[in-house]
Amino acid sequence: DAGVIQSPRHEVTEMGQEVTLRCKPISGHNSLFWYRQTMMRGLELLIYFNNNVPIDDSGMPEDRFSAKMPNASFSTLKIQPSEPRDSAVYFCASKTDRGYNEQFFGPGTRLTVL
């Protein structure tokens, strides 16, 4: 299994531009999580999907952030318009929901907003 796949791995953009991050979860996993990691705040949950449905989006910082999961093998996190304070590493993770088990993380997307 290729594991969780994220793209792009690095993104540099200018303030005000739209940014789209992509994630392909592990096949057969029906839970998907988007996280943001910074030195100041650590690992923060942004949104959690189960069976392609958003269950908890309380961590989405504001309306500039949106996430979709159109099918079981693809999810996007969009920031529009982007701001310098959005600079961080964004991780996608997936897991099965059979019991209380571990998450599998992707390699992350390092976003820099100038």
Partner 1 sequence: EDQVTQSPEALRLQEGESSSLNCSYTVSGLRGLFWYRQDPGKGPEFLFTLYSAGEEKEKERLKATLTKKESFLHITAPKPEDSATYLCAVQPGGSYIPTFGRGTSLIVHP
Residue numbers of the site for partner 1 (CB under 8 A)? Answer: 4, 31, 33, 42-43, 45, 48, 50, 56, 91, 93, 95, 97, 100-108
63-102 burial: b if 16+ Cβ within 10 Å, else e: eebebebeebeebebebeebeeebbbbbbbbbbeeeeeee
Tell me the closest approach of the beta carbon of residue 55 to partner 1, in angstroms.
8
Kindly state the tokens that stand for 71.
């099918």
Tell me the closest approach of the beta carbon of residue 16 to partner 1, in angstroms.
27
Tell me the closest approach of the beta carbon of residue 37 to partner 1, in angstroms.
9
Please name which of 80, 74, 81 lies closest in space to residue 34, comparing C-alpha atoms.
74
Tell me the closest approach of the beta carbon of residue 58 to partner 1, in angstroms.
10
Nearer to partner 1, 4 or 67 (CB): 4
Nearer to partner 1, 4 or 111 (CB): 4
Task: For tokens 């069976």, name the residue.
Answer: 51
Nearer to partner 1, 86 or 106 (CB): 106
Using CB atoms within 10 A of its CB, is residue 37 exposed (0-12), middle (13-18) or buried (19+)?
A: middle
